Chain A
Amino acid sequence: MNAPVSSFTPGTLVETSAASVSAAMPCTRLSLRARGDLAPFEAALGLSLGGHIGSRSSSDALEAMRLGPDEWILHSRSGDVADVVAAMSALYDSHPHSLVDVSGREVTLVIKGERAAELLTLGCPRDIDTIPPGAGRRTAFDGVTVVLWRDGETSFRMDVWNTFAPHVYDLLAIGSRELAAESH
């Protein structure tokens, strides 16, 4: 199944006794690239950027995950982030960086349920157990690059580029039914 992206309206897409998959509400997504002294960026963003790759931090307005030595993805948590963007923009001359709005680029699937972590093993070569709750990873699912946020033991979010999302969702739906059919 490769349904067009526009079929993803926020809400539950599939739910079984094993796991549910739903489409998250849209949010502002910013790709940040920066190096050197991170303090001015942390001040402008109101959150810390310095943790290990895969670590996360948040403010009232934003949450961030470090994806690489000089790369972070930021999601808005509520409301407008224009102030933050303006503050970063003001920093540019003294602290060059790249802050690119990628809100339109991807969607987020929310995967929850008793066997959510197991569901991810259908497509993710990485050991899910090594991602602690509150952290995340850029990884692959069924050959597609995704960013995985582990919010709890049985609760995940997965950012997927629009045109890959139907393929990824399709396997998650097959898998949640497959896992539910297993007698445990």
Chain B
Amino acid sequence: MSQYRVSGRGRVDTSRPVTFTFDGKRYTGGRGDTVASALLANGVHLMGRSFKYHRPRGAVAAGSEEPNALIGTRRGAGRFEPNTRATVQEIWEGLETSSQNKYPSLKFDVGAVNDAAYMLFSAGFYYKTFMWPKSFWDKVYEPFIRAAAGLGVSPTEEDPDHYASRYLHCDVLIVGAGPTGLAAARAAAVDGLKVVVVDENPEAGGTLLSEPQAEISGRPAWDWLAAEVAELEALGVTIMTRTTAIGYYHQNMIGLVQKLTDHLPKLPDDTPRERMWRVRAGQVVLAQGALEKPLVFHGNDRPGVMLAGSAQTFLNRYGVLVGKSPVVLTSHDSAWYAAFDLADAGAKVQAIVDTREGVREELQAEARKRNIPVKLSHTGTATSGRLRVSSLRVNPVSGGTVGAGTEIKCDALLMSGGWTPSLHLFSHTKGSLAWDDDRNTFLPEKTPEDCVIAGASRGLWGIEAALKDGAEKGREIVAALGKTGAEVSYSVANDRPGTGVSHKELPTDRSPGKAKAFVDYQNDVTAKDLRLAVREGMRSIEHVKRYTTNGMATDQGKMSNINGLNIAADALGKAPPQVGLTTFRPPYTPTSFGAFAGYHRGAHFEVTRKTQIDPWAEENGAVFEPVGQWRRAWYFPKAGESMDDAVRRECAATRESVGIFDASTLGKIEVVGPDAVEFMNRMYTNPWTKLGIGRCRYGLLLGDDGYIRDDGVIGRMGQDLFHVTTTTGGAARVLNMMEDYLQTEWPDLNVWLTSTTEQWSTVALNGPNAAKLLAPLVEGVELTEETFPHMSCVECTVAGMPARLFRVSFTGEIGFEVNVPAPMGRKLWETLWEAGQQYGITAYGTETMHVLRAEKGYIIVGQDTDGTVTPFDAGMGWAVGKKKPDFVGKRGLARPDLVAEGRKQLVGLLTEDNSKLEEGAQIVFDPNQPVPMKMVGHVTSSYDVGTSGRPIALALVESGQSRMGEIVHIPMPDRTIAAKITSTIFVDPENARLKI
């Protein structure tokens, strides 16, 4: 058995040894050990180096609040995690762990030079030191800060684990499976209520695991616990261990992170490492208990200096003596019991040093019984020992005067500055806190959520008080759910009630300005840092926090907040509640990114929508681009072709013969009802009343501000039936906007909207041979200029498939869009492909579509418009129905700034030197004006692979439409390009090519 393991104590099964490594050295612990308990059992206290000063540190706590003992854990390739708390990580055979923040070794670390130079690293150090010279920022300061910032080393390999998430609905969620939580669960386990209890520890019990001496209702604590857990489970209560409630969100939504495999030697198949539970609870009981506070004095951070309650936990729960000759320094009764437990387990307790003048006689008698020297009215002023504490210097305090110090030799120092109720989750609810003068801490007051807080987390002390409060609050919330909770009474023998006082930093006979009295261990913030911050003008605790970084580490100030507040308040000469408490933010404990990402990683990261024709495009070598959630064929390169080559070929083939394009992603909305035409008149700028059945029209949709929001071709399929198309990205947005108007503004209209985007696969054919290709396949309409002119639509049959056929063009060529029921899309495409071979049919992608439309000056909403462009700015005043009484955006269009002179207007640009402009490039009128120049617009679209024989561009230019033929200038990093303002139409301005 290890040197510090106490036979017969604790819950660790030492008969089942577990071997692991720490910094390459092998250690043996038992089943049930954490890394910290196993190392302590081997006499190892030194577990890490501190963040700023690289001071040697050991575990100061035994649970998830541990600020110091942060380690890296490794389980083969990719499975490395930094900043794991050694007090939480359970050991398993073969676990590899390593210390952090040290070079070259944990015992000898060159970074510790920071400790000697501590005067340089005072509060606000970053703000002061890195201010000047300014030129040093990029090359010197920022790299230095980045190198020094952060704890541990980020993993470099991809995480091979997977992460999961689920939703959970329950009547009662209880956070914390200590005596309070278990008693609340017992009260709530009635009448079919779904009760869930969560606890971050591997087993339920909380305090009971550290206090086996208690007897609950006549049974030893651990016997009672085992029976109670079994009984609760028999009653249908779900108890989830290794599960941390990380955050409390609106309307009783609580986030839980359950660790599933970190404690297992072998990873089971198909099992996630962690699971995020999103819980919606009817009622919540917060029973998170209290966290012990350190005392603030010089040298309170050496390895071996530990919270007394944690030493008690290491002994009673893990069977480990943290020292053989410990000394106790306390301001609270609880540490006396820790001293007694350690003494009873064979430790020679050197002294109990208490800051208080008077302590319960009963405790003093117990100390005498064990021959433990007691020093009341004493302060601790220093410790010594390089890698492990070896002595404590104590001084008597009398009437505010600190007397001469004496050294007490020790191998561990157990301290207690009292206990802070754990209010983290309560604070997440926006719960209000009230300062309690007696306990010198904040207590929970009111919360807007359906939530109660019970036991030690509302300041109660002792197991019996916790059980009774849990039972009472449990019944309270059951009553709120309209039921009657179970009546259970509890009596506890060998309970350990207690009280204490709270301190700012302990008084000292030495210079407080030189004291390394740590408040925040993880961020290396000392009491003098806090006082300096106040001296330098920080008044609010929020400012003190940010200036000193107190409470900003990953432990979220679990140990430091109240001590920090006491010191800052003292420095400000105010009462603590007037200085306030900083906000606790989720997550309660550090949480992996994996837990937040859940299933959304790799191929499942986000929905990728693919059309029915997408597989054909993939088989035929398409390069894809994302458009919203869709992936679309961008271009179809042949062997050896660059993107430009491919697009140039696709453009030419379409203008010369026929091109085929997958337009299935276009949004489609079926508008049906007697008021369909009225609805269309009100939504779109265009007039619809006179549009004949079987005809289509280009429609422009504005926001009520008068700016272009969407566009598309709309076909009137029947008197009361419109087939609306929208942009690919706008489909959902447009439908929502329409529904919004229908439901809130025009509920009187008898018209209904149905999304048919996914009902139809849409194949576009464009080019001089499009009609020739299509005509033989179409039944029900003749594709001639007379019977089916441009902008016609009809229900017919294409290649034997029921179809909606549109004659429209987004290229300037003869164009058709064939809609067939979605699953038939690929069959239609392949039929057209076969039939088109005689014309050398060419498949084209979105890039060619963009080029061909730009040559005709057709806008793309979102590219040539940016949410500040009106139809008139875009040169599309013709689309606005002047005689219509109203439409969405009509009043917006009349706003003074929308009718003012000098608006940016869409125009074409042709560069003087035939170079291609860059999309987004800024435009100026006079290139010789001083910098900063007045920018008068920007390039919205630019291509040089089209069929017009030269690069073309579209641009928004101030008063552009009245500047035709003028030269503007586009300054680029290397030169300034001159360009002539032209019409937006570069190909076939007469639209002759649209005719069959």
Interface residues of A (CB under 8 A from B): 1-2, 4-6, 26, 31, 33, 70, 92, 96-98, 100-106, 118, 121-122, 124-127, 129-130, 142-144, 161-164, 166-167, 170-171, 174, 177-178, 180-182
A143 to B604, CA, bound (A): 12
**Contact call B609/A97, Cβ cutoff below 8 A:** no
**Contact call B750/A96, Cβ cutoff below 8 A:** yes
**Contact call A4/B614, Cβ cutoff below 8 A:** yes
A2 to B618, CA, bound (A): 13
**Contact call B164/A104, Cβ cutoff below 8 A:** no
Enumerate the 7 nearest inter-chain pairs by beta-carbon distance, A residue then B residue, closest first: A104-B821, A33-B752, A163-B609, A98-B752, A98-B672, A181-B270, A127-B169
Assuming the contacts A2-B603, A104-B822, A180-B270, asked whether A164 and B609 have C-beta atoms less than 8 A apart, the reply is yes
B760: chain A residues at CB < 8 Å are 104
**Contact call A70/B752, Cβ cutoff below 8 A:** yes
Interface status of B608 (Cβ within 8 A of chain A)? yes
**Contact call B166/A121, Cβ cutoff below 8 A:** yes
A130 to B171, CA, bound (A): 13
B826: chain A residues at CB < 8 Å are 6
Interface status of B670 (Cβ within 8 A of chain A)? yes
A127 to B280, CA, bound (A): 9
Assuming the contacts A70-B752, A125-B278, A170-B604, asked whether A163 and B758 have C-beta atoms less than 8 A apart, the reply is yes
CB-CB contacts of B755-766 with A at 8 A, as 1s and 0s?
111111100000
A122 to B612, CA, bound (A): 28
Main secondary structure of the interface of A (DSSP, over half): mixed
Name the CB-closest residue of A to B751. Answer: A98
In chain B, positions 583-632 with a C-beta closer than 8 Å to chain A are: 599, 603-604, 607-612, 614-615, 630
A161 to B397, CA, bound (A): 77
CB distance from B264 to the nearest CB of A (A): 12
A161 to B162, CA, bound (A): 27
Q: Can you spell out 23 A-B residue pairs with CB atoms less than 8 angstroms apart?
A: A1-B603, A2-B608, A5-B610, A5-B823, A26-B823, A70-B752, A96-B673, A97-B673, A100-B672, A102-B756, A105-B755, A105-B757, A121-B168, A161-B758, A163-B607, A163-B630, A164-B607, A167-B607, A167-B608, A170-B603, A171-B604, A180-B270, A181-B269
**Contact call B759/A104, Cβ cutoff below 8 A:** yes
CB distance from A181 to the nearest CB of B (A): 4
Contact-residue bracket for chain B: 35 or more
Interface status of B754 (Cβ within 8 A of chain A)? yes
Interface status of B674 (Cβ within 8 A of chain A)? yes
6 more A-B contacts (CB under 8 A) besides A104-B761, A182-B271? Answer: A96-B720, A104-B822, A104-B823, A125-B278, A126-B167, A161-B758
CB-CB contacts of B665-678 with A at 8 A, as 1s and 0s?
00000101110000
Interface status of B272 (Cβ within 8 A of chain A)? yes
Name the CB-closest residue of A to B271. Answer: A181
**Contact call B270/A178, Cβ cutoff below 8 A:** yes
**Contact call B758/A122, Cβ cutoff below 8 A:** no
In chain B, positions 822-850 with a C-beta closer than 8 Å to chain A are: 822-824, 826
CB distance from A177 to the nearest CB of B (A): 4
**Contact call A177/B612, Cβ cutoff below 8 A:** no
**Contact call B674/A122, Cβ cutoff below 8 A:** no
A26: chain B residues at CB < 8 Å are 823
A47 to B750, CA, bound (A): 23
A31 to B755, CA, bound (A): 10
Main secondary structure of the interface of B (DSSP, over half): mixed
A173 to B598, CA, bound (A): 15
A101: chain B residues at CB < 8 Å are 759
A142: chain B residues at CB < 8 Å are 599
Name the CB-closest residue of B to A182. Answer: B271
**Contact call B167/A171, Cβ cutoff below 8 A:** no
Name the CB-closest residue of B to A143. Answer: B607
A70 to B674, CA, bound (A): 16
A105 to B604, CA, bound (A): 22
CB-CB contacts of B276-288 with A at 8 A, as 1s and 0s?
0010100000000
**Contact call B167/A125, Cβ cutoff below 8 A:** yes
B268: chain A residues at CB < 8 Å are 181
B611: chain A residues at CB < 8 Å are 163
Name the CB-closest residue of B to A144. Answer: B607
Interface status of B243 (Cβ within 8 A of chain A)? no
Interface status of B686 (Cβ within 8 A of chain A)? no
A31 to B759, CA, bound (A): 11
A130: chain B residues at CB < 8 Å are 169
| Residue in A2, A96, A171 whose CB lies within 8 Å of B610 | A2
A105: chain B residues at CB < 8 Å are 755-759, 822
A124: chain B residues at CB < 8 Å are 167
**Contact call A6/B672, Cβ cutoff below 8 A:** no
Q: Which of B162, B278, B821 has the most CB of A within 10 A?
A: B821
**Contact call A96/B603, Cβ cutoff below 8 A:** no
| Residue in B751, B754, B761 whose CB lies within 8 Å of A102 | B754
A167 to B600, CA, bound (A): 10
A162 to B665, CA, bound (A): 12
A2 to B750, CA, bound (A): 39
Interface status of B556 (Cβ within 8 A of chain A)? no
A162: chain B residues at CB < 8 Å are 612, 758, 822-823
A143 to B871, CA, bound (A): 35
B751: chain A residues at CB < 8 Å are 98
A170: chain B residues at CB < 8 Å are 603-604
A4: chain B residues at CB < 8 Å are 610, 612, 614-615
CB distance from B108 to the nearest CB of A (A): 46
A177 to B268, CA, bound (A): 12
CB distance from A160 to the nearest CB of B (A): 10
A92 to B720, CA, bound (A): 10
A118: chain B residues at CB < 8 Å are 166
CB distance from A38 to the nearest CB of B (A): 15
Interface status of B34 (Cβ within 8 A of chain A)? no
Name the CB-closest residue of A to B610. Answer: A4
**Contact call B607/A98, Cβ cutoff below 8 A:** no
Assuming the contacts A104-B760, A104-B821, A161-B758, asked whether A1 and B280 have C-beta atoms less than 8 A apart, the reply is no
CB distance from A59 to the nearest CB of B (A): 22
CB distance from A108 to the nearest CB of B (A): 13
Name the CB-closest residue of A to B194. Answer: A129
**Contact call A121/B758, Cβ cutoff below 8 A:** no
A26 to B720, CA, bound (A): 29
**Contact call A177/B270, Cβ cutoff below 8 A:** yes
CB distance from A51 to the nearest CB of B (A): 20
B670: chain A residues at CB < 8 Å are 98, 100
CB distance from B671 to the nearest CB of A (A): 9
B757: chain A residues at CB < 8 Å are 105
**Contact call A129/B166, Cβ cutoff below 8 A:** no
A125 to B105, CA, bound (A): 49
CB distance from A97 to the nearest CB of B (A): 7
B334: chain A residues at CB < 8 Å are none
Name the CB-closest residue of A to B603. Answer: A1
Name the CB-closest residue of A to B253. Answer: A125
A60 to B610, CA, bound (A): 35
CB-CB contacts of B95-107 with A at 8 A, as 1s and 0s?
0000000000000
A5: chain B residues at CB < 8 Å are 610, 612, 823
Interface status of B310 (Cβ within 8 A of chain A)? no
Interface status of B165 (Cβ within 8 A of chain A)? yes
A103: chain B residues at CB < 8 Å are 759, 821
Q: Which of B612, B751, B824 has the most CB of A within 10 A?
A: B612
CB-CB contacts of B251-276 with A at 8 A, as 1s and 0s?
00000000000000000111110000
A13 to B750, CA, bound (A): 43
Q: Which of A92, A106, A167 has the most CB of B within 10 A?
A: A167
B167: chain A residues at CB < 8 Å are 121-122, 124-126
A134 to B168, CA, bound (A): 22
Name the CB-closest residue of A to B629. Answer: A163
CB distance from A121 to the nearest CB of B (A): 5
Name the CB-closest residue of B to A162. Answer: B758
CB distance from A85 to the nearest CB of B (A): 13
CB distance from A5 to the nearest CB of B (A): 6
CB-CB contacts of B505-518 with A at 8 A, as 1s and 0s?
00000000000000
